[in-house]
Amino acid sequence: MSVPEQNKKRDYSHYDRMSTAELEQILRLDFQTSDGQASDPDAILYIAGLLAKRNGPFEPDAAWERFQTQYRPCADGRSLYDWDGSGGALAAEQSPPVSVRPRHRRQLAMLAAVLAALLLGGMAAWPSGADIPGHFAQWADETFRFVSADAGAASSSSTDEEALRQLRSQLRELGMEGRFPISYLEGFHPGKLNVSTLNDRVSADVTFSGAYRSYTVWIDHFVQPTDNTGTFEKDDTPVEAYEHNDQTFYILSNEDTLTATTYNGEFMVTVAGALTREELKTVLNAIPSPNLAQYRVQIQADLAQVGQSLYFPQIPEGFFPYSCSYFVIPPNFDADWSESYIRGEEYLTFGLTIYHGSPWAHYSKDDGPVEEYVYQGITHYIFGNEGTATAVWMVEDTEYYMWVTDATVDIKQLLRSIYASE
């Protein structure tokens, strides 16, 4: 049975990857359409919402001037409700320029959305000399109502942390948690997770909003490998290939937006927003290595060859996987593997080396004593180095090592948790 056109859910996600300039041009053209031409109000409101999430002007006066000159028809200071007594066309003495049609209610709502995008989406103060609350009240009489800017104020850090935990839980169910940044930029706050299912992919995105700017993280999981992953608009700035955590991100610029994307044939991760190049790389650095599971399977196979199994500490709450490594070292083909976790600015690393010859690893330490901690018949050597606690021990020809920078974490408790998980 066919679905009526008005009941079909339209997908406007293609607007997400357009530049701010392109989105603004769409709005300007829409306001100049003739009465008989079709317009999609939902699309216009969607675009206005995107503009609100992106970086708004830093100066209130500049934002108000931008609205007056680029969006508002008859931008001469007159009210948007200057209709004649019939409620339809403008009075003769107030006729607009030829290129601009009379204002109708649909247009007023669209203009209101643009003003929200320019003012509420990116500013903390009103333009000087402009009666913004008066304009809002006037519009509210006919078409809509704005709440105060304070109603959308940023949540507390504890609320943000809880929101991030919920996001990670949702992403875990989608099999995407390992592709998502484990932290976000200071001064920004996480929004809700948006999930959409298309014919060839499942997409999830989260927008992080700041006082004047925002950035969005997209994760696309393709059902099967494809070359049709979409096209990104860019300017003439050279594309930068940025390598981190076994991934190559391609960073491209498009006017006021920087975009970084990587694709491995199954997952495409994209970060885009009004960020500096340094800020963008900070976000990319928080994305874990995609090889965590693969490397762990490899080291388990190597241990099995020497009659051992992998045992692992219980990672303290709040630490998230950050990076991993696996390599084979000649001439004896010793296998070294490790995983690192992060919580705020604190790190925890756990790893091992399977020796096929003499041990060669050296560890830095301060002038404090080395403590011999015997547990489950194994001697663990614990020492410090400038605030980092390190433990090293041998199981036959395999050398295990662990260090943690967080002084609140008891390294002996971590050691005991290893044997509890056997």
Token digits of residue 101:
């049609």
Average pLDDT over residues 315-344: 86
Please tell me the least confidently modeled range out of 30-39, 127-136, 185-194, 202-211: 127-136
Token digits of residue 49:
């919402």
Residue 112 in this model has a pLDDT that exceeds 80: no
**Residue 190 to residue 245: CA distance in whole angstroms:** 23
Give the number of other Cβ atoms within 10 Å of residue 167's Cβ.
Answer: 20
Q: How much of the chain is helix, strand and coil, in % rounded to 5?
A: 30, 25, 45
Residue 128 in this model has a pLDDT that exceeds 70: no
Three-class DSSP category at 350: strand
Average pLDDT over residues 80-88: 43
Average pLDDT over residues 130-145: 41
Query: What CATH code would you report for 157-285?
Result: 3.30.200.100
Q: Say what the pLDDT of residue 350 is.
A: 94
406-409 long-range Cβ contacts below 8 angstroms, 24+ apart: 406/316, 406/343, 406/346, 406/347, 406/348, 409/316, 409/346, 409/348
H or E element, residue 389: strand 388-395
Higher pLDDT, 283 or 30: 283
Strands 240-244 and 247-254 come out as antiparallel
56-60 long-range Cβ contacts below 8 angstroms, 24+ apart: 56/117, 56/118, 56/119, 56/121, 56/122, 56/123, 56/212, 56/213, 57/118, 57/122, 57/123, 57/212, 58/122, 58/123, 58/212, 60/119, 60/123, 60/125, 60/126, 60/127, 60/128
The contacts of residue 345 (CB under 8 Å, 6+ apart) are none
Ranges of each domain in the chain: 5-151, 157-285, 292-420
Residue 250 in this model has a pLDDT that exceeds 70: yes
Give the number of other Cβ atoms within 10 Å of residue 209's Cβ.
Answer: 22
Token digits of residue 269:
């991760």
- Judge residue 337's burial from the number of C-beta atoms within 10 Å of its C-beta, 0-12 exposed, 13-18 middle, 19 or more buried: buried
Q: How far apart are the first and last CA of the chain?
A: 57
* pLDDT tens sequence across 357-416: 888 888 988 889 999 999 999 999 999 998 899 999 999 999 999 999 998 999 999 999
Residue 287's closest CA among 187, 194, 155, 171?
A: 171
* pLDDT tens sequence across 282-326: 898 888 887 788 888 899 999 999 999 988 899 888 787 878 889
Average pLDDT over residues 89-111: 44
What letter does residue 29 receive in the DSSP assignment?
H
Q: How confident is the prediction for the chain on average, in pLDDT? A: 75
- pLDDT above 70 coverage of the chain, percent: 67
Give the number of other Cβ atoms within 10 Å of residue 20's Cβ.
Answer: 17
**Residue 236 to residue 253: CA distance in whole angstroms:** 8
pLDDT band at 69, cuts 50/70/90? low
pLDDT band at 82, cuts 50/70/90? very low
Residue 27 in this model has a pLDDT that exceeds 90: no
Please tell me the least confidently modeled range out of 58-67, 256-265, 396-405: 58-67
Token digits of residue 227:
């070359």
Q: Say what the pLDDT of residue 417 is.
A: 93
Q: Are 100 and 32 in contact (CB under 8 A)?
A: yes
* pLDDT tens sequence across 182-215: 788 888 988 889 998 888 889 999 999 888 889 9
Higher pLDDT, 187 or 67: 187
Residue 218 in this model has a pLDDT that exceeds 80: yes
Average pLDDT over residues 258-283: 91
Strand order in the sheet with 371-375: 320-329, 334-343, 346-354, 398-404, 388-395, 378-385, 371-375
How is domain 292-420 classified at the architecture level of CATH? 2-Layer Sandwich (3.30)
Q: Are 215 and 196 in contact (CB under 8 A)?
A: no
**157-285 and 292-420 agree in CATH topology:** yes
Looking at residue 279, its amino acid is E
Higher pLDDT, 158 or 214: 214
Residue 102 in this model has a pLDDT that exceeds 60: no
Residue 114 in this model has a pLDDT that exceeds 60: no
**Residue 200 to residue 202: CA distance in whole angstroms:** 7
**Residue 361 to residue 358: CA distance in whole angstroms:** 10
Please tell me the least confidently modeled range out of 68-82, 229-243, 263-277: 68-82
